[in-house]
């Protein structure tokens, strides 16, 4: 079939297998030539578990571990399989392409497709580690999900993207309609905050590490990290100090709990703060598409623009396996400095104050935003023939 993007609101409901494969290959190529990663003898992971391995920051983490350091990788994701009439999700095709490349490079790669919040999947992962790796020395936690079924009670919790304390009126960019407009968001109530913490807080990360520790599959000095976004004043009302920010604060609690629980193995747990960029998760957050199209403009002009793979390659070489990681007073690894420094934020704020529907195309990098959005689903990737007939049924090797 010939596959063209079907965009509905902030999501694209189909994906292009050849485009996804090319995008994975581009990230592999970046990692292979990046200074400091993959250099013979460079310190790095050997056996890695990536929870949320199929798209965005988790996929970049898996690619960096495997192709930057030669690590064996076990991935967990939640993706839809293709059928003859319907494409699979981008994460399905990314994983297929990753497996293919790993196989060609004679590298171990295995992926479990299922609900990472469930104890069934945790048990499957533990069995797989025992069978194939013995133990893991790095666990990346990169889930982004709007809901979570509590494995103890069976209750389904849903996250909410709302301000905390007071209503917030601001500008946003509607990617589907290409429109900048005002939105007013009512503050979350206590239950909505608590439910968002249940979904996106540290409880599940801690549960993973507790079960991996109990099963004896964590190596001595194993490292684990969960990803967060901290941002600055422009995004605090809808992110940092909002429901999602409250959930992310809980990761700091979980990091301390993990260190204490797995202290006999000297496990290190740190939250990593990454920069804002276009992923399936961030496109769904009000305000973020507008903010991101403005930071892309400013950071591309500054020459500091980075995507998932650049951020994660840096996280590995500078923080996880570097001798002098940038850390804040909560021991979080900080990879977001090029975005959150005062000079860059002042430039973004100046654009933010001026931006309207009329001047949006000239003030922002909306083209860059839209192209990267389509790239997530394998569209508009250079070198791919989108008129060609492609086979949607792709298996994982
Ligand atoms: P993403 O949507 O690209 O990736 C989410 C991953 O989680 C996918 O692999 C998906 O399959 C998996 N997943 C979702 N629900 C699952 C489930 N129930 N079981 C198993 N797998 C499941 O998101 P992303 O933007 O890469 O976000 C990853 C992490 O990085 C999140 O914690 C996010 O808050 C954080 N982060 C994102 C940004 C950003 O701007 N995108 C910035 C900083 C930090």
288 lines ligand 1 (CB under 6 A): no
For the chain, the domain total comes to: 1
Q: Give the pLDDT mean for 156-161.
A: 96
Strand-pairing partners, residue 48, are 73, 138
Is the residue at 211 inside a domain?
Answer: yes
Is the residue at 66 inside a domain?
Answer: yes
CA of 387 to the centre of ligand 1 (A): 31
Is the residue at 384 inside a domain?
Answer: no
Return the ligand 1 atom nearest residue 115 CA. Answer: 19
Q: Whose CA is nearest to atom 16 of ligand 1?
A: 78
Query: In the prediction, which pLDDT does 58 show?
Result: 98
Residue among 142, 130, 105, 143 nearest 47 (CA):
130
277 lines ligand 1 (CB under 6 A): yes
Is the residue at 52 inside a domain?
Answer: yes
- How far is the CA of 41 from the CAs of 33, 38, 62, 136, 311, in angstroms? 15, 8, 19, 19, 22
Give the containing element (helix H, strand E) for 112: strand 109-113
Checking if the pLDDT of 40 tops 80, the result is no
> Has 114 been labeled as part of a binding site?
no
Is the residue at 369 inside a domain?
Answer: yes
Query: In the prediction, which pLDDT does 216 show?
Result: 98
Return the ligand 1 atom nearest residue 79 CA. Answer: 11
- φ, ψ of residue 293 in degrees (nearest 5): -70, -25
Query: In the prediction, which pLDDT does 92 show?
Result: 98
Query: In the prediction, which pLDDT does 35 show?
Result: 62
Q: Which domain holds residue 364?
A: 7-375
Is the residue at 385 inside a domain?
Answer: no
Q: Give the pLDDT mean for 173-181.
A: 86
Is the residue at 393 inside a domain?
Answer: no
Catalytic residue among 239, 296, 321, 369: 239
Query: In the prediction, which pLDDT does 281 show?
Result: 86
> Has 79 been labeled as part of a binding site?
yes
> Has 248 been labeled as part of a binding site?
yes
Catalytic residue flag (residue 110): no
Tokens 């292979």 label which residue?
32
- Confidence band for 286, pLDDT divided at 50, 70 and 90: confident
Identify the three-state secondary structure at position 92: helix
- Confidence band for 42, pLDDT divided at 50, 70 and 90: confident
Q: Whose CA is nearest to atom 26 of ligand 1?
A: 56
CA of 55 to the centre of ligand 1 (A): 7
Q: Give the pLDDT mean for 108-135.
A: 98
Q: How many residues does the chain have?
A: 397
Strand-pairing partners, residue 136, are 218
149 lines ligand 1 (CB under 6 A): no
87 close to 14: Cβ distance less than 8 angstroms:
yes
Checking if the pLDDT of 140 tops 90, the result is yes
- Confidence band for 175, pLDDT divided at 50, 70 and 90: confident
Q: What is the pLDDT of residues 293-349, one digit of tens each?
A: 999 999 999 999 999 999 999 999 999 999 899 999 999 999 999 999 999 999 999
Query: In the prediction, which pLDDT does 36 show?
Result: 58
Give the containing element (helix H, strand E) for 343: helix 342-354
Q: Looking at residue 124, which CATH number applies to its domain?
A: 3.40.50.720
Is the residue at 45 inside a domain?
Answer: yes
Q: Rounded distance, CA 368 to CA 300, Å?
A: 10
Q: Give the pLDDT mean for 189-208.
A: 98
Give the containing element (helix H, strand E) for 25: helix 17-33
In this prediction, what percent of the chain has a pLDDT beyond 90?
A: 91
Return the ligand 1 atom nearest residue 143 CA. Answer: 7
């Amino acid at each position: 079939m010939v596959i063209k993007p079907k965009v509905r609101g902030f999501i694209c409901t189909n994906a292009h297998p050849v485009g996804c494969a090319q995008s994975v290959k581009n990230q592999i190529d970046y990692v292979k030539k990046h200074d400091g990663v993959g250099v013979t003898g460079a310190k790095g992971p050997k056996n890695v578990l990536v929870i949320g391995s199929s798209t965005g920051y988790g996929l970049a983490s898996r690619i960096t571990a495997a192709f930057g350091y030669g690590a064996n990788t076990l991935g967990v994701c939640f993706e839809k399989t293709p059928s003859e009439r319907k494409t699979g999700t981008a994460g399905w095709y990314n994983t297929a392409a990753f497996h293919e490349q790993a196989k060609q490079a004679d590298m171990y790669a295995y992926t479990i497709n299922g609900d990472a919040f469930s104890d069934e999947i945790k048990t499957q992962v533990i069995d797989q580690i025992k069978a194939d790796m013995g133990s893991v020395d790095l666990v990346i936690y990169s889930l982004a999900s709007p809901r979570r079924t509590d494995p103890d009670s069976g209750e389904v919790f849903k996250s909410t993207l709302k301000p905390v304390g007071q209503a917030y009126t601001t500008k946003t960019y509607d990617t589907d309609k290409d429109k900048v407009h005002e939105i007013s968001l009512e503050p979350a109530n206590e239950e909505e905050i608590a439910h968002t913490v249940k979904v996106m807080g540290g409880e599940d990360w801690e549960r993973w590490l507790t079960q991996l520790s109990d099963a004896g599959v964590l190596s001595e000095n194993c490292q684990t990290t969960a990803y967060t976004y901290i941002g600055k004043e422009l995004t605090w009302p809808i992110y940092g100090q909002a429901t999602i920010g409250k959930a992310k604060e809980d990761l700091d609690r979980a990091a301390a709990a993990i260190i204490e629980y797995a202290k006999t193995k000297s496990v290190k747990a740190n939250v990593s703060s990454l920069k804002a960029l276009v992923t399936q998760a961030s496109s769904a957050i009000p305000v973020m598409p507008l903010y991101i199209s403005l930071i892309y403009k400013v950071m591309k002009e500054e020459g500091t623009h980075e995507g998932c793979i650049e951020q994660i390659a840096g996280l590995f070489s500078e923080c996880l396996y570097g001798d002098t990681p940038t850390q804040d007073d909560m021991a979080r690894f900080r990879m977001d400095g090029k975005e959150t420094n005062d000079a860059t934020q002042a430039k973004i704020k100046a654009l933010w104050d001026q931006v309207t529907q009329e001047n949006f195309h000239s003030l922002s990098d909306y083209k860059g935003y839209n192209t990267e959005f389509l790239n997530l689903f394998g569209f508009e990737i250079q070198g791919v023939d989108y008129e060609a007939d492609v086979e949607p049924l792709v298996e994982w090797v």
